[in-house]
Amino acid sequence: MAILKILEFPDPRLRTVAKPVGDVDETIKTLVADMFDTMKAANGIGLAASQVDVHQRVIVMDLGDDDIGPRVFINPEIEVLDDSISPYDEGCLSVPGFYETIDRPAHVIIRALDGEGNQFEEEAHGLLAVCIQHEIDHLEGKLFVDYLSPFKRHRIRKKLEKIHRQNG
């Protein structure tokens, strides 16, 4: 069990594009376990490997729902099912203390490998659909603040940089 350091905006390492996982081997399983420990310790619901400076296509999620408990998505892909868009007040462990409303496709199909390396496919709407799109963005080096106006993004960057300076 290990709690990893979560990179925070504007750390340039968050801009790295993650590589597909080849084998779901013991190294990946250890990474997944450490990501769950890290996410829980930080009170998160979703975490991409990019956020802990591991640039492989791995996501963990725990929406705390009865249906959707701890979930692993390796090499995830989504297909947008229709034109409907939903707004959601998003946050991010890499942008602590900031929440903004983001519009995203409301209905998607997720195709991925689970924590055992088995392929699965699942239709998603609501929080699961929002969260998987947010986390796949991390694997592409993208953050939710990229959807905001340059003014808002700059303000968030300055506030976080000040906090980082104060924390040494």
Is 135 among the residues known to form the active site? Answer: yes
> d(Cα 165, Cα 51) in Å, to the nearest integer?
20
CA atoms within 13 A on the CB side of 74: 19
Span 72-111, contacts to Co ion by CB under 5 A: 92
> d(Cα 65, Cα 13) in Å, to the nearest integer?
31
Q: For residue 71, what are the β-bridge partners?
A: 61
- CB nearer to ligand QAP: pick between 38 and 56: 38
Number of chain positions touching Co ion (CB under 5 A): 1
The least CB distance from residue 44 to ligand QAP, in Å, is: 3
Catalytic residue, from 79, 121, 135, 161: name it. 135
Return the DSSP state at 124: E
- CB nearer to ligand QAP: pick between 56 and 100: 100
90 binds, among Co ion, ligand QAP, none (CB under 5 to 8 A by kind): ligand QAP
The least CB distance from residue 141 to ligand QAP, in Å, is: 16
> d(Cα 72, Cα 58) in Å, to the nearest integer?
7
Residue with tokens 């519009």: 103
Angstrom distances, CA of residue 13 to CA of 7, 134, 168: 8, 17, 19
Residue with tokens 């297909």: 79
Number of H-type helices and E-type strands within the chain: 3, 7
**Is position 59 an interface residue for Co ion (rule: CB under 5 A)?**
no
The least CB distance from residue 160 to ligand QAP, in Å, is: 11
The residues that touch ligand QAP, with contacts defined as CB under 6 A, are 42-46, 88, 90-93, 96-97, 130-131, 134
The least CB distance from residue 122 to ligand QAP, in Å, is: 17
- CB nearer to ligand QAP: pick between 34 and 90: 90
In the complex, which residues of this chain contact Co ion (CB under 5 A)? 92
Active site residues: 135
